[in-house]
Amino acid sequence: MKSCPREIVIPFRPIPLDVPEGMKPNEFFNSTENLNDLVQNNGLLSNPENLLLYRKALGHSNEFDTSIIYNTSNVILNPLGRPVRRTQVPDNVKHVWNRMNQIIIEYMLEQYPDPGKHLVLAGEASLDATWPLTSPGVPSIRMLHNHFIVFDNKSLSEAKTADKANPNLTDGGQHSLFQEYMRDVYRDFFNRALKLKILKPMSGDESRLGLTNYPQGLPCWEIQGGADSLKDIQFWKEYDDILKGFIDFYRTFFTQVSTRNADILPDVYFPDNVENILLFNNDFMATAKKVRERCITDAKYANAIRWQPAFKQLIYRNDDGKLIVTISQNSIGNAITELLGVVVNRVPDADAYEGYEPKLIERLLEVRQRLIDADLGSGIKTKYWPE
């Protein structure tokens, strides 16, 4: 079987939402009105911490697909003032969120135990306002949310080969920039800054999926102990540390791009490592110089840069059944599945979707009940399922 990125077709039921006259769709999708509709039509469970479990109406997979969003739309009306990464979430909320993550991932692994038959993944994406609102691919809801997705490997193997130039397999050149010019210092920074006990660095050959040959060049860590380690709060601290390390690297690099020989940022998480590893590395500083000089002469290139850290962080199961963590710059595309070489082509087809819907909802209600039993929220009633 050919190892290549795949483009899978996923039918969905068109959403009957009317965008008010004079508003762009992405402006409306950030509104409290739209988020209320999300709760009423697709909400599964909510809790006092403002965490909302919901069905993905525009899903990535009709096998299993759900999300948790930190729904601050009613308490923070400014869309640009809402938390967009785990490091901005209050500790008590993050504690509940981690428990919800653990239970949902455990459910997916129980229901889909064979890595040869199903691709299981869970992850989250930064939704910062880090590019112009008029650019393609601007996130439609500026609040941090998780994805929990299962793909049938048979369907993936039968899907057509994805074009490697597809926007959902690119990141505007920033990943390739890190890989081509700063690969060694990028990994050295992670390895020296992070004191990990559960997460173990992996090679690219070990972490890649045979079906797609992805991830491509991303730093990866094996979760030693597998699913049981997700019940250990130490894992979630290390999961956060990987994000913190990524944010330090990203912010430090683009600060140097923006301002030659800029001072170390005052609020980095690993200041000693930033100073000793990054700001004293010739490859790191020379690459910042290349990008800075191009920004001065190439307006289109400069406009495409995401000056603030945008990321996708993922837990997935590889071909050997190991659970792996990886992280990447957020792409111009808007699908977390791209990290694993899966492009999702959503097509409106209510009849086809309804064929998948009963089993999909059955699974979502099963995992909802586990969350309710663990005192992680209360069920929401919609026209598709009971409270």
Residue 84 — very low, low, confident or very high, per pLDDT cuts 50/70/90?
Answer: confident
DSSP alpha helices (H): ranges in the chain? Answer: 25-29, 32-42, 91-111, 153-158, 174-193, 204-207, 233-258, 271-273, 282-297, 299-304, 350-373
pLDDT-above-90 percentage for the chain: 63
The lowest-confidence range among 175-184, 204-213, 256-265, 320-329 is 175-184
Based on the fold, state whether residues 7 and 70 are members of the same structural domain: yes
Residue 326 lies in a domain: no
Residue 120 placed within a domain: yes
DSSP 63: S
Pairing assessment for the beta strands 220-223 and 342-348 based on DSSP bridges: unpaired
Mean pLDDT (the chain, rounded): 88
Predicted confidence at residue 290, as pLDDT, reads 93
**CB within 8 Å of 345: residues ≥ 6 apart:** 7, 8, 9, 10
Cβ within 8 Å of residue 188, ≥6 positions away: 277
Q: Residue 322 falls within a domain, yes or no?
A: no
Q: Which two tokens stand for residue 369?
A: 């009940």
HSE (side-chain half, CA atoms, 13 Å) at 385 = 24
In this predicted structure, the answer to whether residue 48 has a pLDDT above a threshold of 70 is yes
- Confidence tier at 274 by pLDDT (50, 70, 90): very high
In a domain, 325, yes or no: no
Q: Are residues 265 and 348 in the same domain?
A: no
Do 82 and 119 have their domain in common?
Answer: yes
Q: Whole-model pTM?
A: 0.92
Whether 271 and 373 map to the same domain: the answer is no
On whether both 38 and 141 belong to a single domain, the answer is: yes
User: Domain range holding 383?
Assistant: 1-169+331-387
Q: How many CA atoms lie within 13 A of 322 on its CB side?
A: 17
Residue 180 lies in a domain: yes
Bridge partner list, 286: none
Q: In the listed set 277, 310, 343, which residue is the last one of a domain according to the structure?
A: 310
Is residue 175 pLDDT above 90, yes or no? no
Query: Which amino acid is residue 110, in one-letter code?
Result: E
**26/143 same-domain check:** yes
Kindly report which listed range (6-20, 233-247, 315-329) carries the lowest average pLDDT score: 6-20
Share of the chain above pLDDT 70, in %: 91
Write down the pLDDT at residue 17.
73
If asked whether residues 68 and 194 sit together in one domain, one would say no
Other C-beta atoms lying within 10 Å of the C-beta of residue 378: 13
Q: Does any domain span residue 317?
A: no
Is 90 found in the same domain as 177? no
Single residue among 310, 343, 372 that ends a domain in this structure = 310
Cα(first)–Cα(last) distance of the chain, in Å?
Answer: 45
| Confidence check: pLDDT of 328 > 70 | yes
108 and 120 in contact (C-beta within 8 Å)?
A: yes
| 243 and 345 share one domain | no
Cα–Cα distance measured from residue 339 to residue 91, given in angstroms and rounded to the nearest whole number = 28
Domain boundary among 276, 310, 344: 310
* 219/279 same-domain check: yes
CA distances from 196 to 170, 227, 233, 270 (A): 29, 17, 13, 14
Residues 95 and 61 in one domain: yes
In a domain, 319, yes or no: no
* Number of domains present in the structure of the chain: 2
pLDDT of 171 higher than 60 = no
Contact call for residues 295 and 302 (beta carbons, < 8 A): yes
**What whole-number distance in Å separates Cα of residue 277 and Cα of residue 275?**
6
Does residue 276 carry a pLDDT above 60? Answer: yes
Residue 316 covered by a domain: no
DSSP 22-56: T--HHHHHTSHHHHHHHHHHHEEEE-TT-EEEEE-
- The answer to whether residues 140 and 27 belong to one domain is yes
pLDDT for 362 beyond 70: yes
